Amino acid sequence: MIRYAAALLLLCAQFLWASEQQPLQPPMLHIVTEHSPPGGYLDESGRVIGPTTELLRLLAKRLHQPIEISLMPWARALTIARTEANTAIFETVRNAEREHWFRWVGPLKHYTIWLYGRADRIDPSVPKNKLSDHYIACEYRGSVYIDHLARLGFIQGRNLIVTVSKEDCRDMLLRKRVDLTTWNDAFTASVNSELAEQNTKMKKLTPIDDIQLYLAFSLDHEQATVDRWQQALEQSYQDGSMRALYQSRYPEAVIKRLEQFAAKSSTSSSSEQH
């Protein structure tokens, strides 16, 4: 009995020692996003895929962080990320209004947003400050660009249609149900390929904003956690991981801009250490 008790105590001690050596796995991180191809969309099995999505999965794997990615309408995703603990959202614009809403990791992308119209429906003689008098625009609920459009005179219920998703605005533009929508300058090729079948194309009208899109963490996350994600993200820009995922779907200009950001950030950090 004495030997049995001693063996049991030894076994318990070994178990406790092993437990202390093994760090506890962090809780599941719930990451939310919208249907926004090619960055994030559902495949035939219902799994969220896309280059940006896969980049986040790669970072989570490197950080030993279990994650669950859900796709939903943007307004709902934004509400969840702001109100529920242990959540994050991508790809969201970082601006002055939202700065205190989240803890930020990024940028995941960086480009210019323009107001675009169908070339076959735009009269070039209409001045930019009079577009709202002649055309109907479309934007999705929760978008920061609704405020930009309001400053141009587009008001919901009059000459602005607000939809659930950006994809709805794209479809309405293709079907000639709206004339204008905001779009990024680097990703017009897919829309133009469809408009080409209608013998027209997207026409740039006026720049809206120069934006950076981020992965935004809920405020309950410690800054150290956010810093680790930021470091892992920049490392992926430097070691070619991001390029391998992005280059088949995103323009070279977008990729180079992120690589240059990481190189500049690395140089700044080295200078501070010296």
Residue with tokens 């500049």: 264
Average per-residue pLDDT for the chain: 90
**One-character DSSP codes across 149-167:** HHHTT--BTTTEEEESSHH
Where is pLDDT greater, at 24 or 103? 103
State the number of CA atoms in the 13 A half-sphere of 215 facing the CB. Answer: 28
Mean pLDDT of 191-214: 94
Element (DSSP H or E) covering residue 272: helix 252-273
Question: According to the model, what pLDDT value does residue 273 have?
Answer: 58
pLDDT tens for residues 177-197?
Answer: 999 999 988 788 889 999 999
Q: What is the CATH number of domain 112-210?
A: 3.40.190.10
- For residue 14, pLDDT beyond 70: no
pLDDT of residue 37: 86
What CATH number should be reported for the domain whose range is 26-110+211-273? 3.40.190.10
Give pLDDT tens digits for 247-274.
999 999 999 999 999 999 877 665 555 5
- C-alpha–C-alpha distance, residues 259 and 31, integer Å: 24
Residue 1's pLDDT band (cuts 50, 70, 90): low
Task: Indicate the DSSP class of residue 131.
Answer: G
pLDDT surpassing 90 at residue 21: no
CA dist 120 and 199 (Å) reads 8
Neighbours of 159 (CB within 10 A): 20
Helix, strand counts (H, E) of the chain: 9, 10
Higher pLDDT, 32 or 7: 32
Q: Where are the domains of the chain?
A: 26-110+211-273, 112-210
pLDDT in tens, 63-97: 999 999 999 999 999 999 999 999 999 999 999 99
Residue/partner pairs of 138-141 with CB below 8 Å, 24 or more apart: 138/162, 138/163, 138/168, 138/169, 138/172, 138/173, 138/178, 138/180, 138/181, 139/163, 139/169, 139/181, 139/182, 140/74, 140/164, 140/165, 140/166, 140/168, 140/169, 141/73, 141/74, 141/75
Q: What is the pLDDT averaged over residues 12-31?
A: 68
Whole-number pLDDT of residue 122 = 95
Q: Do the two domains 26-110+211-273 and 112-210 of this chain adopt the same fold?
A: yes
Six-digit token string for 182: 């905001």
Bridge partners, 162 (sequence order): 139
Cα gap 42→222, rounded to integer Å: 31
Whether residue 18 is predicted with pLDDT greater than 70 in this model: the reply is no
Q: Is the pLDDT of residue 41 over 60?
A: yes
Confidence check: pLDDT of 175 > 70? yes
